[in-house]
């Protein structure tokens, strides 16, 4: 358990429905990331928050996807009008950010993910 939690762990929905996922990062972490992972592939970057500001969003992300991080704490990822191609594992990660010149690792701690199945 990394300290990052995601809810729900599994979601089955019908095509065309909207879904929302929640991520609770490690409390002192100011950076939060969303990734999507399909079977046999590495995580694919979706978006990134520094505190409450969404600083980066993948060009692969269609307008049906939106993410928020109100008050710089938990984050939500919403997918509108889901399609079968959205079926994947959605991973959230948080990081503290570099704290000095030698600690530029910015280690990301991943949550357990939300597995979405669109029928």
Partner 1 sequence: GQSLEQPSEVTAVEGAIVQINCTYQTSGFYGLSWYQQHDGGAPTFLSYNALDGLEETGRFSSFLSRSDSYGYLLLQELQMKDSASYFCAARKYNFNKFYFGSGTKLNVKP
Residue numbers at the binding site for partner 1 (CB under 8 A): 2, 31, 33, 35, 40-45, 48, 50, 55-56, 91, 93, 95, 104-113
CB of 15 to partner 1, least distance (A): 25
> Which of 83, 106 has the CB closer to partner 1?
106
**Which of 78, 54, 52 lies closest to 65, judged by CA?**
78
**Which of 4, 10, 11 lies closest to 32, judged by CA?**
4
> Which of 56, 78 has the CB closer to partner 1?
56
CB of 104 to partner 1, least distance (A): 5
Please confirm whether the linkage preceding 8 is cis (ω < 30° from 0): yes
How many CA atoms, within 13 angstroms, populate the side-chain half-sphere of residue 101? Answer: 0
CB of 111 to partner 1, least distance (A): 6
């Amino acid at each position: 358990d990394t300290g990052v939690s995601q809810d729900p762990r599994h979601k089955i929905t019908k095509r065309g429905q909207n879904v929302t996922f929640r991520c609770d990062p490690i409390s002192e972490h100011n950076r939060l990331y969303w990734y999507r992972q399909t079977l046999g592939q590495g995580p694919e970057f979706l978006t990134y928050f520094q505190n409450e500001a969404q600083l980066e969003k993948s060009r692969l992300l269609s307008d049906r996807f939106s993410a928020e991080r109100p008050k710089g704490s938990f984050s939500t990822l919403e997918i509108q009008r889901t399609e079968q191609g959205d079926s994947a594992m959605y991973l959230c990660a948080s990081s503290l950010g570099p704290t000095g010149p030698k600690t530029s690792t910015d280690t990301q701690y991943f949550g357990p993910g939300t597995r979405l199945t669109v029928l």
